[in-house]
Amino acid sequence: MYRAHSLLREAMFAAGSAASLAVLLFWLGPPGNDLAAHVYQRTVFLHDGFQLWNNFWYGGRYSFVTYSVLYYPLAALFGIKALAVASIATAALAFAFVVGRQWGPLARWSSRTFAVVWAGLVISAAFPFALGFALGLLALWALQAGKRWRFGILAVLTAAASPLAFLLLAIFLLGIGLGMLERRRRLLVPALIVGGVGIVEFLLTRAFPDGGRYPFTKFELSAVLVFCGLGAALTWRVEHARMIRWFFVAYGLACLGTFVVASPLGENIVRVRFAALPIAVLPLWRIPRARWVLLAVCWAVAVGCCTHALINSIQRVLSLAGLLRIEYSPTVWASIDRRAADLQDLFFNEPWFLVEGLGFGALGWIVLGSGRRRRWWVGTALAAISVLTVIGMLSATGVIGKTIIG
């Protein structure tokens, strides 16, 4: 277990790193995917205050009450960018304390990796989720310290900031409960609090229905179930990873339920998967039989994400130059602004895939250390990215048959 000053130093380092990277992304990077929506909603709040209904939002819908009650008042007070940097830094700080208290010095690289990956949330601009996730991590930290009523307050704030973040908090709490059945009395009060807040959230969604349904493809479901199944299998008989094991089980069941029951949540529930994977499996690195499997997973995800980013970025550049026509399914898109779609994918979507790929690559790089194995791992990854990118571009330009790569 970390000594107190070592843990504090590591947590402050993680928070400072996350904040610095977030500021750099704000300064050097393009606006995030959802930034325009948050600017609009913040402006509405500044001009008209808290309103249940907005005629100008997606043709008319409830704008705050079932999305984020807490975020927009805070964004109006502190500003969108300042609040985002504070949320990301707080999440990194709380994460470092939670994993440091649970796994000791082994969690050092976990907290640093989280700081790097979580700063990439600036690219997607999912800022209400970032605020809720930070509050959720603070709630887990309070629960870990035995402060159950502080946990309750933070759980309510998590739900007020982001119902999705609250759902993930509830799933993680369920995983902890399944892994600590012999000490279930300690979790009775937190479970009652989460259950009560969950009931209120459900009643709000019934009283103020969204009406929309967010898609959840079979491919996304398959990917997240493989992720959960692999994580559960690798931790099944590992005593110190028991809580993570049951989190995988609970998370998989929640994703399956979300897929079966269509709702506005949809595949948003898998949002945390790629950022969580290099963090959630770090305690497994000391298991010899799991290490090479995890390195293979990091290699595959790094290659897949980087290849996706390269192929789609090249396609979008060619499309903007008038050298390639990208087809859109008429069953999904009634009409589309091709230039706007190209720019959004090039500057907003693909950088996130690149960040994820580099994050998984960095994780493998750190674990392998210096030597021939690291050079072989990196060399084969670069070779695979090059080959797959060439195949993908030949397919996109019609030189070879259609191949789904990127």
CB 70 within 8 A of CB 160: yes
**Domain match, 102 and 230 both:** no
C-alpha pair distances (Å), 100 with each of 138, 144, 286, 328: 14, 11, 16, 47
**Domain match, 147 and 237 both:** no
**Domain match, 139 and 11 both:** yes
* pLDDT confidence of residue 382: 94
CB crowding 227-242: b at 16 or more within 10 Å, else e: bbebbbebbeebeebb
* Beta-bridge partners for 53: 62
Q: Tell me whether residue 201 is in a domain.
A: yes
Q: Tell me whether residue 162 is in a domain.
A: yes
Rounded-to-integer distance, Cα 352 and Cα 357, Å: 9
**Domain match, 50 and 145 both:** yes
Nearest to 345 by CA among 383, 369, 319: 319
Q: Tell me whether residue 272 is in a domain.
A: no
Q: Tell me whether residue 87 is in a domain.
A: yes
**Domain match, 220 and 251 both:** yes
* pLDDT confidence of residue 306: 93
Both tokens of 1, joined, read: 């277990």
**Domain match, 191 and 318 both:** no
Instruction: Note the pLDDT tens digit of each residue in 164-204.
Output: 888 888 888 877 766 665 566 677 788 888 888 888 888 88
Q: Tell me whether residue 275 is in a domain.
A: no
Low-confidence ranges of the chain (pLDDT < 70): 1-3, 29, 59-60, 106, 177-185, 211-212, 234-235, 237-243, 272-290, 331-334, 363, 366-367, 369-370, 401-406
**Domain match, 312 and 371 both:** yes
- The residue length of the chain stands at 406
Residue ranges making up the domain that contains 231 = 212-265
**8-state DSSP, 324:** -
Instruction: Note the pLDDT tens digit of each residue in 303-313.
Output: 999 999 999 99
Q: Tell me whether residue 278 is in a domain.
A: no
Q: Tell me whether residue 109 is in a domain.
A: yes
**Domain match, 325 and 398 both:** yes
* pLDDT confidence of residue 173: 80
The residues near 334 (Cβ < 8 Å, ≥ 6 apart) are: none
The residues near 309 (Cβ < 8 Å, ≥ 6 apart) are: 350, 351, 353, 354, 357, 406
**Domain match, 35 and 133 both:** yes
Rounded-to-integer distance, Cα 406 and Cα 396, Å: 10
Rounded-to-integer distance, Cα 22 and Cα 6, Å: 24
Phi, psi of 53 (to 5 degrees): -120, 140
**Domain match, 114 and 51 both:** yes
**8-state DSSP, 208:** S
* Beta-bridge partners for 89: none
CB 6 within 8 A of CB 85: no
**Domain match, 395 and 322 both:** yes
Rounded-to-integer distance, Cα 190 and Cα 147, Å: 10
pTM for this one? 0.73
**Domain match, 224 and 184 both:** no
